[in-house]
Structure 1
Amino acid sequence: MKKIITVILLGIAIFTFAFIPPAFAADAASGAKVFSANCVSCHAGGKNLVKADKSLKKDALEKYGLYSAEAIIAQVTNGKNAMPAFSKRLKPEQIENVAAYVLLQADKEWK
């Protein structure tokens, strides 16, 4: 009986960990520095000075499908519309850190 329970628990553990996405290991503190140096001119306080409705506030990020690290990384890397691409100015790690910072601030309502 112990063997069966052990096998079942092991199976559950393997199944659980096999389908959990990898941790997003970015550094929001470093992202804040990169944000201040590269993004704040258009996005001070989470706003968007070019297109006000497309701010970095949580509700706007959710509305436009950008409330995830992957989506923010793609937006910053490739740019879109009025936003320039930062792939040649920033390293991938810096962009990941900015994404972590933006998500953290969005969750805190940029306070």
Structure 2
Amino acid sequence: ADAAAGAQVFAANCAACHAGGNNAVMPTKTLKADALKTYLAGYKDGSKSLEEAVAYVVTNGQGAMPAFGGRLSDADIANVAAYIADQAENNKW
């Protein structure tokens, strides 16, 4: 996956609610590493990598977040998951 391409996908589709890694709807459930480890299904229990867990939620939605499967290509979803993982794991938010 291409994190640089994922940055463009994020800007176009995710930043409205997740600017700067924050969450406008559920303020505690940010895209920052500590929150992802606490709240992200699959990642918090170690059954999925961070990228896999993010891609799953982007594809299928969760809570107030809509599903982007069918709206974004599989490549775009993989790229945005790589971007989010890179930002979180490297404390760039």
Output the TM-score relative to the length of structure 1. 0.73
SS of 2:65's partner is coil
Query: Could you give the per-residue CA deviations for residues 45-90 of structure 1, whole angstroms, max 9, x where no partner exists?
Result: 0000000011000000011135411111110000011000001210
Output the TM-score relative to the length of structure 2. 0.87
Superposition pairs of residues 4-83 of structure 1, within 5 angstroms: 26-65=1-40, 67=43, 68-83=50-65
In terms of Rg, which structure is larger? 1
Would you say how many aligned residue pairs link Structure 1 and Structure 2?
86
SS of 1:35's partner is helix
- Greater RCO, 1 or 2 (C-alpha within 8 Å, sep 6+): 2
Structure 1: 5+ residue stretches without partners: 1-25
Residue 108 of structure 1 deviates from its aligned partner by 2.5
- Give the structure with the higher percent helix: 1
